[in-house]
Amino acid sequence: MNSQEGKRVYDLDRAHVFHSWSAQSTLSPMTIAGAEGSWVWDYDGNRFLDISSQLVNVNIGHQHPKVIQAIADQAAVLSTISPNHANDKRGEAAQRITSLAPMHLNKVFFTNGGADAVENAIRMARIHTGKRKVLSFYRSYHGNTGAAIASTGDPRRWPNEYADAHVHFFGPYLYRSSFWATTPEQESERALAHLEQVIQFEGPGTIAALLMESVVGTAGILVPPPGYLEGVRELCNRYGIVWIADEVMCGFGRTGKWFAFDHFNAQPDLITFAKGVNSGYVPVGGVVISDEIAATFDNQVFPGGLTYSGHPLAAASIVATLDAMREEGIVENAAMIGETVLGPGLRELQEKHPVIGEVRGLGVFWAVELVTDRATKEPLAPYGGSSPAMNEFVSECKKNGLLPFTNYNRIHVVPPCTITVDEMNEALVRLDSALSAIDKHYVGA
């Protein structure tokens, strides 16, 4: 506990740090002094169970000793090297990643994060196909760079639409169906019919890529209904479209499998990744590339590159992370937590709290949709904004020692893949208490 140091850190931040996605004068950031496993703490000694995994990226938990040691060991040997040279850890990281991917994806282009992974995947698809347009969900987030933000569906796109040839469509979302569906099967069939119509109206000969989060993350943790991804694969094959699976948030154990598309019988042409590949210990991302698309650039220059592509510290952290996840059964733990503790626990809370309209998810990747009326499904906060009720909920979580992830009217319960059964049960107790404080906002029958 060091409140004086906490004040110093806070004052430095407010004087000199410009924060993302924020009006600067309204900010009052938490000052985090340290973290370990599923916990973070501030300078006043307050401890918080981190069910946000920060930005849904700390899959291996905070301060995993094997990853920390790998970064230190690499720094002692070779702290940086330009991407035009071969490097042992870069090659090993690429090998570890491709060993988890489908057999036809054997090359990795490394980037600094998820947004520029999406940028470069789009670039590859456009050059490979000779076409321009990119289709993506309205309910999506792909990053805050030129083409990535233009592909994004949520309101953060609106002031940032500088890239061209991006078209949005409605993906499956049974709880708030755009297709008047009443079953998952109907939702899948009708969403695919809608997508094919968009393809036909836009012109298959103009569409380079279909960019999708395998399980939509920030925009709602939307698990595709049965047959949807398989139908997407078939449409892409039929119309000569590259399928880019955005696994930046949902990959590397988050859903209880290495990749989220592994839950389905469909394989993409390109995979974008970041976040969970090394839990953000060092900034890194990348694109896993199919053999067919990689061959396009055998004798043609790929017009893209980054100074820190495959940075050795990042590469070492990937190797250590993926090795630890295998050795310690971390992906299996995420699946077990979702199936036996988190999923059932959230459904019990739904029975208790009328303000919960729906819970959905896989592994340690769950959303709780909050409503004022279950019959009308009126959200507790509007699309693109917050509300006093949601602000009250966040405040109650923090009072209860819980660090939440919220977006509009939703809670995303997304703890580290390493969370224990006892910690998950404790988080559910604290979540129950916070929900009790906002049940008064429910106005339905």
* Per-residue model confidence (pLDDT) at position 322: 98
* Per-residue model confidence (pLDDT) at position 277: 98
Picking from 286, 306, 327, the residue at the C-terminal end of a domain is: 327
Same domain for 214 and 144: yes
State pLDDT tens for residues 259-293.
999 999 999 999 999 999 999 999 999 999 999 99
Residues 385, 190: Cα–Cα separation, whole Å: 29
* Domain total of the chain: 2
Interval 31-46 mean pLDDT: 97
Same domain for 270 and 151: yes
* Per-residue model confidence (pLDDT) at position 444: 86
State pLDDT tens for residues 399-441.
999 999 999 999 999 999 999 999 999 999 999 999 999 999 9
- Which secondary-structure segment (H or E) carries 196? helix 184-202
Same domain for 73 and 45: no
Percent of the chain with pLDDT strictly greater than 70: 100
* Per-residue model confidence (pLDDT) at position 351: 98
Interval 24-43 mean pLDDT: 96
* Per-residue model confidence (pLDDT) at position 142: 98
Same domain for 123 and 268: yes
Same domain for 56 and 90: no
Q: What is the mean pLDDT of the chain?
A: 97
State pLDDT tens for residues 92-141.
999 999 999 999 999 999 999 999 999 999 999 999 999 999 999 999 99
On whether the CB atoms of residues 212 and 137 are closer than 8 A, the answer is: yes
Q: Is the pLDDT of residue 220 over 90?
A: yes
Q: Is the pLDDT of residue 1 over 90?
A: no
On whether the CB atoms of residues 373 and 443 are closer than 8 A, the answer is: yes
Residues 218, 405: Cα–Cα separation, whole Å: 9
Domain of 351?
3-63+329-441
- Residue ranges of alpha helices (H) inside 243-374 are 291-296, 312-327, 330-337, 343-352
On whether the CB atoms of residues 242 and 128 are closer than 8 A, the answer is: yes
State pLDDT tens for residues 70-96.
999 999 999 999 999 999 999 999 999
Distances (CA, A) of 81 to 78, 312, 331: 7, 7, 32
Same domain for 303 and 186: yes
Interval 300-305 mean pLDDT: 96
Interval 218-229 mean pLDDT: 98
- Give the CATH number, domain containing residue 140: 3.40.640.10
* Per-residue model confidence (pLDDT) at position 239: 98
Same domain for 98 and 20: no
Picking from 327, 362, 395, the residue at the C-terminal end of a domain is: 327
Same domain for 221 and 90: yes
Interval 377-396 mean pLDDT: 95
Task: Name the pLDDT band for 17 (thresholds 50, 70, 90).
Answer: very high
Picking from 270, 301, 327, the residue at the C-terminal end of a domain is: 327
- β partners of residue 371: 379
Task: Name the pLDDT band for 33 (thresholds 50, 70, 90).
Answer: very high
* Among 321, 325, 310, CA closest to 89: 310
Interval 341-361 mean pLDDT: 98
Percent of the chain with pLDDT strictly greater than 90: 99
Same domain for 58 and 184: no
Residues 435, 356: Cα–Cα separation, whole Å: 9
Same domain for 298 and 358: no
Residue 412 main-chain phi, psi, to 5 deg:
-105, 115
* Per-residue model confidence (pLDDT) at position 445: 82
- Give the CATH number, domain containing residue 26: 3.90.1150.10
Same domain for 242 and 311: yes
* Per-residue model confidence (pLDDT) at position 4: 95
Same domain for 174 and 268: yes
